[in-house]
Structure 1
């Protein structure tokens, strides 16, 4: 069959049509894949958001339930009254109660066999995003027995757990925080902030509990004071008469650090140190 110019044009046109159809089909397939991927990402984001909200809600319910075991007076100069029998019925690991008047910090304190369990477990033993406030497993229960007692707690984005303590990196907020209560079955100790300092999670100097002498302990505190971001104006004087501190550790997200630590001193020791320095 003889090929004519018209036949060649018609053949070329058919080839272009087939090629164009294939290209259109490929674009449509790619477009559909992208739409499916986009929908999947949106569903994943929505699911992640929903799960996060549920986890925060679940943590809030746990906090509210445990809060019923303590009665907090309206005056910050009065310690919370704690139902120890009720708390122990929930979990026998409870060793104390921590309350900072004027903040959301109002929680029981637990002590486990390690420093990991209560990071993500409730008093009843199930997983929660914020776990429980807990004492270092190497501290002597119920706390404030060793030179340094360390409590750990998350700071959550909803402002709960140790979040208010993270805000004490502001000097004005620090100065306005006058009282911290630590209550055990044996009684209540009223404390006050001494300083806040930052460090990294691997700092081995943090977890020191007992010292050979008060002088060694005070030298240790002076070293921490050199790293402080907020502090009492008379911190050196207070340290000179301090034998015990309660340190609260929480996360921060400042580059090069990772931990914020609030060091508190019993008011009785702070007052004695002030009197001794004035003599």
Structure 2
């Protein structure tokens, strides 16, 4: 703009308020994640493996097939007329049958030998355990309405844990069911896999050993202590637990005995039932190990008793501690559990 003398110029000022920028949007609050569900803890596979039947089938097929082929191949007057090619084919087939028979026969022998080896190993422990003769025991009673044996009259086995631990340092107890083959040490280590295929002394064997859950206290002071064991075809370990789905068996086998280095207990059975491994981690899981309060524990105990396949007059409250032997059902897809409250007994022999 040009300003000249003797002229008036007008200057205008405009005080314009700048437009206020839009307020930025407040960032959305992140959504609160839902509480994760209790993780499912794997339940050990405690069934006997089916391989011995596979090995036995292969052995039978190889022997029968090889014999039939040999009879046909060496039929009188036929073998001399075969060509070199047919001779080679025949020799190959017979060799294959022989190899299959030898291999499967070895595997069958190996599995049978493991059964025998475990039986001998646990029989050798008898010298460390003195089992008293029980009189008028509830296991021998035929009438379930008879008065139960007083706990003061029960004499538990005497176990030399010091000697046992020289060869089995992980042994924490001894579990027995009177008048049955269930009479074994209980071990514990830092996982639930090792004693699935090792004996109490660490020897590799598919029969394994009874063992407490690695998350349990070794002194059986938890509200629920789980003991795992195989359902073996030879009847060893926890095979007989599955018989507790019959009322008649329960009526004559109402109690198990647990002996620990610090004392002994009678396990008074109040429930026995089948469960699915998928239940692990739920609030009604029979493998549950902790509860937020006494009320939750009482609710759980009631649920376990209601699931029982047998009727028991044993009462269990939030002040009781529970022992839960667990094994596989026949076929290995499910689990069978027997649950009992632990009652302290001070009169070991």
Report the TM-score range of the alignment, normalised by the length of the smaller protein.
0.7 to 0.9
Q: Distance in 2 between matches of 1:201 and 1:69?
A: 35
Select 2:287's aligned residue among 201, 207, 223: 207
Q: How do residues 6-155 of structure 1 correspond to structure 2 at under 5 angstroms?
A: 26-75=85-134, 77-143=154-220, 145-155=221-231
Tell me how many residue pairs correspond in the alignment.
Answer: 243
Whichever structure has more helix as a proportion of its residues is 1
Q: Distance in 1 between matches of 2:99 and 2:307?
A: 47
Q: Could you tell me how far 1:22 is from its partner in structure 2?
A: 11
Q: Distance in 1 between matches of 2:300 and 2:331?
A: 24
Q: Could you tell me how far 1:106 is from its partner in structure 2?
A: 0.9
Runs of at least 5 residues in structure 2 that lack an aligned partner in the other structure: 1-79, 138-153, 345-349
SS in 2 for 1:129: coil
Runs of at least 5 residues in structure 1 that lack an aligned partner in the other structure: 1-20, 269-279
TM-score by length of 1: 0.78
| Paired position in structure 1 for 2:235 | 159
Is 2:311 the counterpart of 1:232?
A: yes
Over the aligned positions, Cα root-mean-square deviation in angstroms equals 2.5
Instruction: Judge which range, 176-185 or 193-202, deviates more.
Output: 193-202
| Paired position in structure 2 for 1:178 | 254
User: Per-residue CA shift, 1:12-33, capped at 9, x if unaligned?
Assistant: xxxxxxxxx9996555544433
TM-score by length of 2: 0.63
Whichever structure has more strand as a proportion of its residues is 1
Q: Distance in 1 between matches of 2:127 and 2:294?
A: 39
| Paired position in structure 1 for 2:39 | none
CA contact (8 A) 1:97 1:108 kept: yes
Higher relative contact order (CA 8 A, sep 6+): 2
Larger radius of gyration: 2
Select 1:218's aligned residue among 295, 298, 301: 298
Select 1:188's aligned residue among 264, 271, 282: 264
SS in 2 for 1:45: helix
Q: Could you tell me how far 1:212 is from its partner in structure 2?
A: 3.0
Q: Distance in 2 between matches of 1:252 and 1:30?
A: 46
Q: Distance in 2 between matches of 1:87 and 1:95?
A: 10
